Amino acid sequence: FKTNYTVKHQKNLPPLYPNGWIPAIESSDVNNSRIVNVQLCGEELIVFRGREGEVHVLDAYCPHLGAKLSSGGHVMKLCNEVCVRCPFHGWVFRANDGLCVQVPYTQTQSAPKGVRIKTYSNVEMHGFIYVWFHADGLEATWRIPKINEINSKWFDFVLSQFIHCFKHYKDIPENGADVYHFLQLHPWSTLMGSNLDTINNNPFLSTILKHNFESSWTACDSPENHKSLMYLKLTSLFLTIPLIKMEMNVEQIGPSVVHLYFKSLMGVEGVLIQNVLPVRPFEQKLIHRLYITPGFLSKLFSKFMLYGESTM
C-alpha cells in the first residue's frame, strides 16, 4: 500500500524565510581557496576563504551572463586583495564588496562602472558560518552570543547531526516553545519515537522507559527581544526508577539558532547547538552540533541524547 500525505497550509502565511543570522555551512566544509555552493532562503550563494582564512559569502552567479562561480571559478589575489574569477569570461570580482575590478579581454582590462556581485555579512563561530539575511536588505541589528565554554576548550566537540524536515520554518521554534506538548507527545519518545499509532498499540512498552518534564518559557525584553528563554527539567524513568535527571537552560536566539545548555546529576554538562537552515519554501535543514565535558561517560551520554533528540 502506498500512503499519500497532503500538507495543508494555513491562509495568510507569514514570510517563508526569516530575517536574522542563518547557518549557511559548517566551518570544516570550507577549505582554503575552495568555492562551496550553498542554498539558503531560496538563494544560491558561494562561500570561500581568503589566504588568511577569512570567510567571504557572495551570490553564486556572475552578473555578466549568469555563469555559476562554484563550477570552475577561482579564488585569486589582485592588487593584494582577495577576488573571485568567473570561469566563463574571466571577469574578476573583489570579495569584500563584490565590485568587478577586471575584465581581462578589454584593452585596458578595466571593469564597467558599478558592476558587482551581492555580498553577505557573515560571522564564523562555534563551528558554523552564519550569514545575515534580511528581506529588506537591512544591516544586522544583533549578534549571536559566544559560548565561552567552547572558546576556552572546556567543552569538547562530539559530533554533528543533520535532519531534513518539510514544514514552515516558524513551526520549529514554536514547537520548542510549546512546553505543554512534552508530556502529551514525548513521554515515551526515546524508545518509540513520536508515532502515536505505535505508542497506542504498545501500551506495555510505554511503561518501560518514560520521561517526566517540568518546564517554563519567557520572552526577553528589549534590547534582547530577538531572544527567548526556556527552562526544562527532565527525569527519565526505567519502570519507576529514575535513570537520568537533567536540567536544561535553552536560549532561542533569533529565528534559526538555539543554544541548549544542559547539566545532569551524573556530572555531565555541555551545550547542544541547534541551527535551522531554510533551504527553500517548506524545506528546512536542522543541524545539531554537540559539545560536552570530556570523558567516557560523557560520550555515552551524548549518544543517548542525540538519539533521543532525533526520535523526538
pLDDT over 90 at 207, yes or no: no
pLDDT at 146: 96
pLDDT over 50 at 61, yes or no: yes
Structural domains in the chain plus CATH codes: 20-133 (2.102.10.10), 148-311 (3.90.380.10)
Are residues 310 and 290 in contact, defined by beta-carbon separation less than 8 angstroms?
Answer: no
The pLDDT tens digits for 125-156 are 999 999 999 999 999 999 999 999 998 888 99
Name the percent of the chain in helix, strand, coil, to the closest 5.
Answer: 15, 40, 40
Confidence grade of residue 5 (pLDDT, cut at 50, 70, 90): very low
Q: What is the mean pLDDT of residues 206-231?
A: 86
Please give the distance of CA 154 from its chain centroid, rounded to a whole number. Answer: 22
Are residues 204 and 180 in contact, defined by beta-carbon separation less than 8 angstroms?
Answer: no
Confidence grade of residue 1 (pLDDT, cut at 50, 70, 90): very low
pLDDT at 308: 63
CB neighbours of 111 closer than 8 A, spacing ≥ 6?
91, 92, 99, 100, 101, 102, 103
As a whole number, the mean pLDDT across the chain is: 86
Q: How many CA atoms lie within 13 A of 67 on its CB side?
A: 16
Q: Which range, 98-112, 116-130, 175-189, 232-246, has the best average confidence (pLDDT)?
A: 116-130
Beta strands in 166-256 (DSSP E): 209-219, 227-238, 241-253
Q: Which range, 32-36, 87-91, 298-302, has the best average confidence (pLDDT)?
A: 87-91
Above pLDDT 90, what percent of the chain? Answer: 56
